Amino acid sequence: MDLASSIGNVISEIRVQWQPKQIFISALIAIVICCLGPTAALASPAQATFAGGCFWCMEHPFDELPGVTDTTSGYMGGTVEFPSYRQVSSGSTGHAEVVKVDYDTDLVSYETLLDTFWRNVDPLDGQGQFCDKGSQYRSIVFYHDDSQRQLAEDSKQAIDGLFEQPIATEILSAEAFYPAEDYHQNYYQTHPARYRLYRYGCGRDQRLAELWGPQSE
């Protein structure tokens, strides 16, 4: 038997001996994937959507939370598809300015997002938020599933006990989300001076301090 044939036989024997191990490992991997499937689903990224007046001012508080992976300013709750800022700001489309929050459920809870939302809005104002008035600036929790709806309703009830006036914030089912124009995104980072001037001029921080106590922005 020549050298090439000998090597071929050895390789064949190795393949025969290794095949059961390959089958075992493949089966083991399949079992592990099957068992981890539900857990992986629970840990998948989630979304939350909040309307709290000017969306410029709602991105920053959520961006500060560990576990929030992205925030996007946009529009929700109206009757016009792909609305522009000009259309929404006119109050004629029914949309509200919102911030969509993408977050990791393993790192931050929806309850924490709700707490952050409440402490950055005036829940008593049914006409808008701070200096911005109109339906496009109303405060809303848009829930994406029954769990979010129940948690939002529970948190609203808890907030209601803190004030003598009724809570004006609505809790509505999430609808189509339309991202705002690029120049609105991360405005607090791209135009920090204008952003802070707007917040101060709108009386946002002053009113939040009255409602919730001093807080850093």
99-156 confidence digits (pLDDT tens): 999 999 999 999 999 999 999 999 999 999 999 999 999 999 999 999 999 999 999 9
Residue 217: pLDDT band (50, 70, 90) is low
149-182 confidence digits (pLDDT tens): 999 999 999 999 999 999 999 999 999 999 999 9
CATH for 46-212? 3.30.1060.10
1-36 burial, b at 16+ Cβ within 10 Å, e below that, comes to eeeeeeeeeeeeeeeeeeeeeeeeeeeeeeeeeeee
Cα separation, 82 vs 183, whole angstroms: 16
CB atoms within 10 A of CB 183: 10
| Selection from 71, 98, 70 nearest residue 83 by Cα | 98
The domain segmentation of the chain, as residue ranges, is: 1-42, 46-212
**Mean pLDDT confidence for 80-107:** 97
Name the residues annotated as catalytic: 54
Amino acid 35: pLDDT: 45
DSSP 68-102: EEEEEEEEES-SSSS--HHHHHTT-S--EEEEEEE
CB atoms within 10 A of CB 87: 16
Amino acid 30: pLDDT: 43
Cα separation, 55 vs 38, whole angstroms: 35
Encoded tokens for 24: 């075992």
